Every structure is written in C-alpha cells, then in structure tokens.
A and B are shown apart, each in its own frame.
Chain A
C-alpha cells in the first residue's frame, strides 16, 4: 500500500526546512552619520506618500497628489488647445496663485502626513529605538522635518512643473516662463517649509494621531479663513494696511505676499504687501516662522525621554 506508507513521511517532514546555520557575525562596511541620515530621510519621504507602508496609507496621499495635478492638467490642456482661440499669452492661473487655489488639498495632506511621520514615533515610543542608535537627537528632528518638507514641496511643485512644461509646449515666451517658474519654485520651497514646520510642531505636541490631524487642519484652515476674511473687510473699509498685516498670519497669504514682493508675481490676495518696509516684514515673518518651528521642535524633543 504505497499511499499509506508514504503518508507519514509527507506529513512528518515540513515542506520547507530551515537549517540552522548558526550565528554569523557581520564583517561588512558600517556607514557613517551622513549616509545613515540620508537613508532615514529617504524612508521618511517614501513613508509620507505611503510607499513601504500598507496599501491603505498610500490612498490619501496619492489621491491628494492626483487632485493637485488635475486642475493643472486641465489648465494646460486649455492653454495648449485654445491659446489662439482665447488669445492667451500667459498662464491662465499664475504659478504663485496655484497653491492658494489648492490650499485645502495641501492643508489636508500636511495634516494627515505630519502625524504619520512625527506623532507615530512618539506614540509608539519607537523614538527610543532611534535614540539608542548613533544618530543624534537634533539630527533625528531635522531629518524628520526635512522629509515632511520635501514631501510637501513635491505636492506643491508637481502641478507647477506640469504647467511650466505645458506653457513651453504652448509656445509661451520661454525666458519669461522659466523666470516665473523658478520664482514659484522658491515660493513652493518656502511654503512647504512653513507648512511642514508648523504641522510638525503641532504633531510633536499631540501624541494621539487623530487629534494631531484635527489640530493641524484647524491651525492651517482657520488661520487662512480668518486672514482672508480680514483682508476682504480691510479692502472694503479702506484699511489696506490692516489686511497687509493680517496676511502675515497664514502661511499661504504670507508666501504669496513674499512672492509679490520678491518676484513681482501677480497678487492672489486682496491686500498684497505694499512698499519695501511691508515687503521686508513679510521676509522676516517667513524666516521667523521657519526658524521658530525648527527651534520649537528641537526644544520639544529635548524633553522627550529616551
């Protein structure tokens, strides 16, 4: 009875046997601080878009990136197809205006991803495992912030790049377009740094992820709504300076004003900074926001128990 006799052998031996080779020491290269920080940065950047994480965590960032690109795609399509018909000689929506038009999407992205990157390590106390490794505490904080900033920059700048390429395709003057686009890229970097800094700071103080998401959304959306409302009233009542000062208090209006001042971009707010003094105030406020967020984060993490 071959069937019976072969039965015990088949069930007795597991299909895949793992042979114990014993412990093998590692004699290969060990990387220094720089490459380790770079690997940490890349992992953080990938995680922000859900890469290397579960399928569920890819959904939101990818949908937001798609929604950010969609209007740009339509604008480019109109520009390329109907340039002569509509007598267009520049972008339908200015590069510097685009982030304001899509500010809701950008805020949701930052609000969702800052806690995923920042609060997560604090809540699960995974940070202990990082601190027990060669990387210094300050480097950990700065690299985490860099990952979030670059991820946000990619989200803001991707549609701008699409519009720029579309503009070239539609035979807009290349020199002028390149200049405006580069100005917008600088604006996108600064906006990403402001948003990521503020969101990271809120997330670092809010260990519960759901609360952190809500807190960041509130900070970004409420500040933007309040600022634009004040600006609207200021214009209506003839107090432009009030509106210009109010513009300092939302990252979106701040960076847009900065671009108006630095690169003479078309203004997207009712009260852009008028005059050099106000323009410089916008520059200082931007620097303070970014450096303040970094400083606040470093202070916050000094108190995190290892």
Chain B
C-alpha cells in the first residue's frame, strides 16, 4: 500500500492553480519531490497534513483521508517546514521535549525521545543553549529533530538543505537517507535543486506548475544518463590524446568543462577501457567519476508543461 496516494488532487487559489489533477503514489523509503519554486510542493505538503483543504480530488496518508482525519494523520507524520520556525529564546532540548508532548508523548517519554533524536541529528552540547545563537545548519538539525521526536511513520521534509553550505548539505542529505533506510521511516523530501535528490531518494516525483511531470524510481532516471567524467594529465594535450583514443575504440567521448572528457558509458567495461587507454598512452589518471544530470534533463527534454502519464 502506498504511504501517500493522491487522486485528481487539485488546489485552486483565487488567482493561481497550485495543484492540477495530481495523481501521485509514494511508497516506503525516500521519495524526492522536485520542482521549481511555486511548483506546488509546499501546497501539496499542507494538503497532506490536513491543514489546507483541496479544491477537488482526494488524498490519503498512511491510509487516512486528509479531508476528514487530519488530526490522526498529524499524530503519525512529522513535518519540517521550509521557513524559520524556531523560537530564539529556548534551547533545542526544551523545545523538542515540549513538541514531543504536543505530539502526544508523556513527559518522561518525550524527554528520552528528544535526547535520542537530538543525538541522531548531531546536536551535541549546543542543544542546551538558546536557539537564537545557532548557525543555519544547527537550526535545520533542530527542525529535523522536532519532526522525528514522536517516532512518526512518515516525515515530510520541506527543503531541508535550504541555506546550508556544501558540507552541511552533505550531512543533511546523509541524515535524510539514514532516516529512510535505517530508521525505517518513510520520507518525502522536497528540493528545487535537482541534483541532490538523486543521491538520497529511491523514487523521484517531478512537479511542474502544479502538475505531475514524471514519477519513477531514481534508478530509471540514472540509467538513461550514464556518463563518466575523466581527467588526465602528463602532457599538455593529454585530454585530446585520450579523447581521440576513446573515439578510436568506438566510445562516444566529448570535451567537458576544463580539460575533462565526458565519456558515454556503453556497458560495465567502459571504465576499464578508459583506464587501459590512459595507461597505454602513458598518462596519469587524475579522476574518473560518474556524472548524472538526468533529473534536470527531465525538465530539458520533456519541456515544462508536457505531462507524461506516470
């Protein structure tokens, strides 16, 4: 059974249509919800929490109808909002305990859970300091902790990497993956940055202008891509030499940014071919990395607005 199922879900505001006949099924694991700002991601989350009524269509979360069982859904779901929502004058520890109680945990249990969850998100001693003095990364962790404190069956994470520097972003994404894989909690995570979701999600849903652009397993997105970025050194024209050798060997290769070469992956032996050719030419292999751009290509190829049936 799907964790989230929507059928013909539509939300119209006086001037804009935020969601347009959306049919989406989200299963266990980590699901990425991708879309540009204003694509309807936050509206969808608020409807799923039972906070905003849909104009038409229906949706169920964990088997409960969003229109009639909002309270039940909210006791089973954790929500991390996109915007700032933490009071400056309390500590993360006190806040998470309090919000745990607000989710129905008895005080003692809320304390224990809060301490556990703050450890999992990586807030150490600073959890006892007022949140006003936190960095953006620490605030995001505290926001994530309050979404997890009541051991939900599903968490809705709205732009959890917003405003983070690259290393905090990696930490946050690793956490998101752990929640889905190790904690056994289903995750719906939104982002307008397409590249980062393919690293953590099992499934990706792409929204555009309130409509479903594509919904499929992340591996499907990546299969189509398969290209390698290769960088070599040893001679001034090393990249051109290797590129020519690769083309001679029957592979598709083209110059990429800087002195790198992008090689289409034909099968699993392609990396070995690249390595062997580099050695044969007497060059040094500096790096060889997978390159996936494919989620972005969904927008480029499909073209915004051309809806494909899921």
The contact of B88 among A124, A129, A132, A134, by CB within 8 Å, is: A124
Q: Which residues of A (101-129) have their CB < 8 Å from a CB of B?
A: 120-121, 124-126, 128-129
Chain A residues with Cβ below 8 Å from B102 are 36, 39-40, 129-130, 133, 135
Contact A306 B87 (CB under 8 A): no
Give Cα distance in the complex from A24 to B151, angstroms. 9
Q: Which residues of B (100-124) have their CB < 8 Å from a CB of A?
A: 101-107, 109, 113, 116, 119-120
**Secondary structure call for the A interface:** loop
Pick the interface stretch among B21-29, B75-83, B195-203, B253-261.
Answer: B75-83
The contact of A53 among B71, B89, B103, by CB within 8 Å, is: B89
Pick the interface stretch among B3-11, B46-54, B215-223.
Answer: B46-54
Closest to B99 in A: A129
Chain A residues with Cβ below 8 Å from B105 are 26, 28, 30-31
Contact B90 A53 (CB under 8 A): yes
Tell whether B150 is near chain A: CB-to-CB under 8 Å. yes
**How many chain A residues touch B (Cβ–Cβ < 8 Å)?**
36
Tell whether A302 is near chain B: CB-to-CB under 8 Å. no
Given contacts A39-B107, A43-B98, A133-B74, contact A126 B87 (CB under 8 A): yes
Tell whether B146 is near chain A: CB-to-CB under 8 Å. yes
Distance to closest chain A CB from B89 (angstroms): 6
**How many chain B residues touch A (Cβ–Cβ < 8 Å)?**
41
Chain B residues with Cβ below 8 Å from A6 are none
Tell whether B130 is near chain A: CB-to-CB under 8 Å. yes
The contact of A125 among B49, B84, B109, by CB within 8 Å, is: B84
Closest to B74 in A: A134
List residues of B whose CB falls within 8 A of some A CB. Answer: 46, 49, 51-52, 71-72, 74-75, 77, 79, 81, 83-90, 94, 98-99, 101-107, 109, 113, 116, 119-120, 130, 146, 150-151, 182-184
**8 residue pairs bridging A and B, Cβ less than 8 Å apart:** A23-B184, A25-B151, A25-B184, A30-B105, A125-B85, A126-B87, A129-B146, A133-B102
List residues of A whose CB falls within 8 A of some B CB. Answer: 18, 22-26, 28-33, 35-36, 39-40, 43, 52-54, 57, 120-121, 124-126, 128-136, 306
